[in-house]
């Protein structure tokens, strides 16, 4: 499928590729696959509405059985049709089956909308401070350095790299929290506002819960 991707569509796609989305390479072309938990159904429907030109079916509820723990997980998912536009992105963001941060990320991650989608996918806030984070555990230290440089140059955002258990995580310190929240808030869905430590509308910071963070 040959199709032109609009600026807005590309910004959303870039954000979700850095986040939870997966690009699957099929026989002749690639497709974008998006999956979120059942409680994020509204978010999946929003992504589908934004990218519906590339799809041929609606999101569906899927039940995944984890035999190890005897649990069943419910997820909402959809996939785009395979196309050259997605194959080109696969070449940029993948080495084989492994997702990477490309060297030219500064030219790709340049819009607050992309940053907001990435944060909605993989972001959160600490309970013991106003700091925020992006769960980037699958990326290497070098790839985190590329992301840090990109965020500094394109958004004037200072970040740190923290090691947590089995991978690195990109951390936005408290002193930068307000700036970050002001950047992404206009693009966040209301159901994602809980992830922010500062609300630009009410100009108030989230309540800290240091006791809960220590648990």
Q: What is the pLDDT of residues 117-170, one digit of tens each?
A: 999 999 999 989 999 999 999 999 999 999 999 999 999 999 999 998 889 999
In the structure encoding, which two tokens stand for residue 125, read together?
A: 């806030």
Interval 103-132: pLDDT, tens: 999 999 999 999 999 999 999 999 899 999
pTM for the model stands at 0.93
Check residue 166 and give its pLDDT. Answer: 85
- The most distant pair of C-alpha atoms in the chain lies apart, rounded to whole Å, by 53
Q: 3: pLDDT confidence band, cut at 50, 70 and 90?
A: confident
**Cα gap 71→130, rounded to integer Å:** 34
Average model confidence (pLDDT) across the chain: 94
**How many CA atoms does the CB half-sphere of 171 hold within 13 Å?**
15
What's the chain's Rg over C-alpha atoms?
Answer: 18
Question: With 70 as the cut, is the pLDDT of residue 210 above it?
Answer: no
Give the residue-averaged pLDDT of 20-30.
Answer: 96
């Amino acid at each position: 499928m040959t199709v032109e991707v609009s600026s807005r569509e590309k910004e959303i796609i870039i954000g979700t590729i850095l986040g939870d989305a997966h690009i699957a390479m099929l026989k002749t072309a690639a497709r974008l696959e998006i999956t979120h938990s059942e409680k994020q159904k509204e978010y999946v429907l929003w992504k589908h509405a934004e990218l519906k030109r590339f799809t041929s079916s609606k999101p569906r509820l899927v039940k995944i059985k984890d035999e190890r723990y005897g649990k069943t997980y419910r997820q909402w998912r959809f996939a785009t049709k395979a196309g050259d536009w997605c194959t080109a992105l696969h070449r940029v963001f993948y080495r084989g089956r492994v997702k990477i941060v490309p060297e030219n990320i500064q030219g790709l991650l340049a819009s607050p909308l992309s940053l907001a989608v990435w944060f909605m996918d993989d972001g959160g806030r600490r309970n013991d401070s106003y700091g925020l984070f992006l769960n980037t555990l699958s990326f290497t230290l070098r790839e985190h350095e590329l992301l840090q440089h990109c965020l500094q140059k394109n958004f004037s955002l200072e970040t740190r790299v923290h090691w947590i258990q089995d991978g690195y995580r990109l951390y936005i310190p408290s002193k930068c929290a307000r700036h970050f929240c002001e950047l992404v808030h206009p693009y966040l869905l209301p159901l994602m506002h809980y992830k922010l430590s500062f609300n630009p509308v009410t100009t108030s910071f989230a309540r800290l819960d240091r006791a809960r963070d220590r648990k």
